[in-house]
Amino acid sequence: MTQDAQNRAGLAILSIMVAMLAISLNDMLIKQLSGGYALHQIVFARSAIGIGLSLVLVHFEGGFHMLKTRQPGLHLLRGVLIVVSNMTFFVALAALPLAEATALFFVAPLFITLLSIPLLGEKVGPMRLGAVAVGFVGVVIMQRPWASSETLEVSRLVLLLPVVAAVTYALNQIVTRRLGLTAKASVLSVYIQAMFVVVSLGFFAVAGDGRFVGPDTSTSLTFLLRAWVWPAPGDEWVFIALGLNSAVIGYCLSQAYRLGDAATVAPFEYVLLPMAVFWGVVIFGELPAWEVWLGIALILAAGLFVFLREQQKARAVRKGYGLRR
């Protein structure tokens, strides 16, 4: 590996670590606001602020002419995927403990590993595929298939929402890798923020007056469809913090997958798991159930194995011999 490639990989890892810290703060703040505000109002506020900051980064990275693209279809697809991923995850977050929702979402790096085979042409052997299977077992355990609907605190649909978010997130990162060959991270961030603004305004036009929320509406749907309200004193600073944080997330995620290959970057996303547990316990008093702890352990072990196996293979290739995977 050349010095330049090593530097790019190191910067990619640093970018994903910063992104995970920002995401953990984002999820914690959104969960705090979920009891009194509409999701599309929160998304609009943070994206409107985030797009302004992202445009500043575009200016310093080369100028606004970089916003022109020859791949509008891929940018649109990426925007749709990340919006679906975020919205489904946040809707689940209103009803699920923070650590549980985050742990269920962490099937995403496993999907990235699988999808990198047909979409990026990466080679993934039987040992890494076995580790991915172990991670999926952890997700199944957290779904509690042995429990009846009456004993679950939330519906099975809500439990599946973070998994849906994970699939669309994985697809988004694969698309980002393709776009990142020509587009700057700041440009990718602007397109994403713009998509969030458009979608949130669409929700406002349809449901911004709260017409679809009734006394029997579930917690998740209430969060998605309740009326917009003016922020309570003090909450405006939370909205501003979310906007600033949104710019950091969009830029760092895009930068990470521009500079590093999916197999190298994705495992570092697992640092979000202990962060989610920390915020869940400290801020919300949510101690994960045993199923969540077991699921986290299996997913974390699978992700670390995949990462270490990839590093072992890379060292073997540099020394001039192959390694069965």
At residue 29's C-alpha, the angle toward residues 184 and 33, to 5°, is 125
- Which pLDDT does position 321 carry in this prediction? 38
- Tokens linked to 4: 């330049």
Q: Which run of H or of E encompasses 148? A: none
Mean pLDDT calculated for residue range 147-176:
85
DSSP string over 63-126: -GGGG--S-HHHHHHHHHHHHHHHHHHHHHHTTS-HHHHHHHHTTHHHHHHHHHHHHH-----H
- Which pLDDT does position 282 carry in this prediction? 94
**Taking 70 as the threshold, does the pLDDT of residue 218 lie above it?**
yes
* Region of poorest pLDDT, from 85-94, 127-136, 145-154, 203-212: 145-154
- Which pLDDT does position 256 carry in this prediction? 86
**Reported pTM:** 0.83
Output the CA torsion sign for 147, 149, 151, 157: positive
From the list 315, 191, 323, 174, the residue with the least C-alpha distance to 250 is 191
Residues 10-69 pLDDT 10s: 888 899 999 999 999 999 999 999 999 999 999 999 999 989 988 998 988 889 888 888
Residues 265-292 pLDDT 10s: 877 877 888 999 999 999 999 988 888 8
> Which amino acid type is present at position 23?
I
Q: H-type helices in 267-289, by residue range?
A: 272-284
**Taking 90 as the threshold, does the pLDDT of residue 299 lie above it?**
no
**Taking 60 as the threshold, does the pLDDT of residue 1 lie above it?**
no
Mean pLDDT of the chain: 85
Q: Which run of H or of E encompasses 266? A: none
**Taking 90 as the threshold, does the pLDDT of residue 7 lie above it?**
no
- Which pLDDT does position 189 carry in this prediction? 81
- Which pLDDT does position 323 carry in this prediction? 35
- Which pLDDT does position 228 carry in this prediction? 94
Torsion (CA) 124, 128, 134, 140 in degrees, nearest 10: -20
- Tokens linked to 139: 């997700």
Buried b (16+ CB within 10 A) or exposed e, 121-142: eeebeebbeebbebbbebbebb
What CA–CA distance (Å, rounded) separates 186 from 192? Answer: 10
- Which pLDDT does position 324 carry in this prediction? 37
- Which pLDDT does position 316 carry in this prediction? 54
pLDDT band of residue 319 (cuts 50, 70, 90) is: very low
Q: Rounded to the nearest 5°, which phi and psi values hold at 71?
A: -125, 55
% of residues, the chain, pLDDT over 70: 90
pLDDT band of residue 179 (cuts 50, 70, 90) is: low
* Region of poorest pLDDT, from 59-73, 167-181, 208-222: 167-181
Mean pLDDT calculated for residue range 219-248:
92
What CA–CA distance (Å, rounded) separates 210 from 199? Answer: 17
- Which pLDDT does position 150 carry in this prediction? 73
Mean pLDDT calculated for residue range 239-248:
90
Largest Cα–Cα distance in the chain? 67
Placement of tokens 């986290």 in the chain: 296
Mean pLDDT calculated for residue range 182-189:
77
pLDDT band of residue 79 (cuts 50, 70, 90) is: confident
Q: Where are the domains of the chain?
A: 12-319
